[in-house]
């Protein structure tokens, strides 16, 4: 299918089902964290999925390719990202499976209704600090810093959107784990699985993948760590599997 690209945009192949995604490197491009989250999340046949802060729609597109979910919704507040995501959905002919909606994470449960989804995924802003931001309205700054929503907003709305026993998946930074667990408990999402991601086997982790269960019983499984690189420039085999190379 022909698709119009705007100034600064490019079409990147995703190595899954022949799908591609529209991105603008001057704004924001998806990273490894989104791909790893799509490989960590479990979506069963017939389930409905919400991706909070979907950006250009990478997680819904990858989950549609990898799982048997019935429908995937991406919520995004930035109009340019919404437009790119919708055009990517059309380019991949996924209009029947993926919807991209514009809206504020803080109001997600009001927009979509409580207990509306079996699964919620999110790759939220990691940083709380606003100092050093020359332009807080910049797309990259909004994606990386808690300017338009907080971690509490994300977890609160996820809990409200999930059906009872619904599953919550998030990628974040390990230095905020204590805060994350406190908020998950506060809003009734029980941590069930955790996987730490290390750039190299001898380096400390720089990402954490989490699964929570709305209304679940206390018990968490800490899975074996994921090592990204065997050596500089060479991914570990598990990373190639996740990317689909």
DSSP collapsed to 3 states, 107-130: HHHHHHCCCCEEEEEECCCCECCC
pLDDT for residue 236: 92
pLDDT for residue 60: 98
Is residue 15 within 8 Å of 62, Cβ to Cβ?
A: no
At 82, which CATH number?
A: 3.40.50.150
Report yes or no on 169 lying in a domain: yes
Pairwise CA distance, residues 68 & 131, whole Å:
43
Express each pLDDT in 147-156 by its tens digit: 678 999 999 9
Report yes or no on 3 lying in a domain: no
Number of domains in the chain: 1
Tokens linked to 132: 């050093």
Q: Look at residues 225, 234, 245 and name the one whose alpha carbon lies nearest to residue 174.
A: 225
Report yes or no on 124 lying in a domain: yes
Report yes or no on 50 lying in a domain: yes
Domain hosting residue 177, numbered range: 10-243
Pairwise CA distance, residues 160 & 157, whole Å:
5
Alpha helices in 67-148 (DSSP H): 79-91, 108-112, 139-144
pLDDT for residue 125: 75
The pTM of the full predicted model, rounded to 2 decimals, is: 0.93
Report yes or no on 175 lying in a domain: yes
* CA-based end-to-end distance of the chain: 24
pLDDT > 90 fraction of the chain, expressed in percent and rounded: 80
Report yes or no on 5 lying in a domain: no
Low-confidence ranges of the chain (pLDDT < 70): 1, 126-127, 129-147, 245
Report yes or no on 143 lying in a domain: yes
Express each pLDDT in 78-136 by its tens digit: 999 999 999 999 999 999 999 999 999 999 999 999 999 999 999 997 667 665 555 56
Pairing of strands 207-214, 189-198: antiparallel
């Amino acid at each position: 299918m022909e698709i119009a690209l705007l100034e600064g945009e490019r079409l990147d192949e995703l190595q899954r089902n022949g799908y591609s995604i529209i991105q603008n490197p001057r704004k924001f491009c998806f990273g490894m964290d989104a791909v790893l989250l799509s490989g960590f999340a479990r979506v069963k046949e017939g389930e409905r999925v919400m991706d909070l802060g979907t950006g250009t729609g990478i997680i819904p597109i990858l989950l549609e390719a990898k799982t048997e979910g019935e429908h995937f919704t991406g919520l995004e507040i930035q109009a340019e990202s919404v437009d790119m995501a919708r055009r990517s959905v059309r380019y991949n002919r996924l209009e029947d499976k993926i919807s991209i909606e514009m809206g504020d994470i803080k109001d997600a449960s009001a927009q979509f209704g409580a207990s509306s989804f079996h699964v919620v995924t999110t790759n939220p802003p990691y940083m709380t600090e606003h100092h050093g931001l020359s332009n807080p309205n910049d797309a990259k700054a909004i994606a990386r810093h808690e300017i338009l929503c907080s971690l509490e907003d994300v977890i609160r709305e996820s809990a409200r959107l999930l059906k009872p026993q619904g599953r919550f998946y998030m990628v974040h930074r390990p230095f905020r784990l204590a805060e994350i667990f406190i908020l998950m408990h506060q809003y009734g999402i029980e941590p069930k699985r955790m996987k730490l991601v290390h750039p190299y086997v001898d380096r400390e982790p720089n990402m954490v993948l989490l699964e929570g269960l709305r209304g679940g019983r206390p018990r968490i499984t800490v899975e074996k760590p994921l090592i990204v690189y065997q050596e500089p420039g060479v991914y570990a085999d598990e990373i190639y599997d996740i990317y689909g190379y």
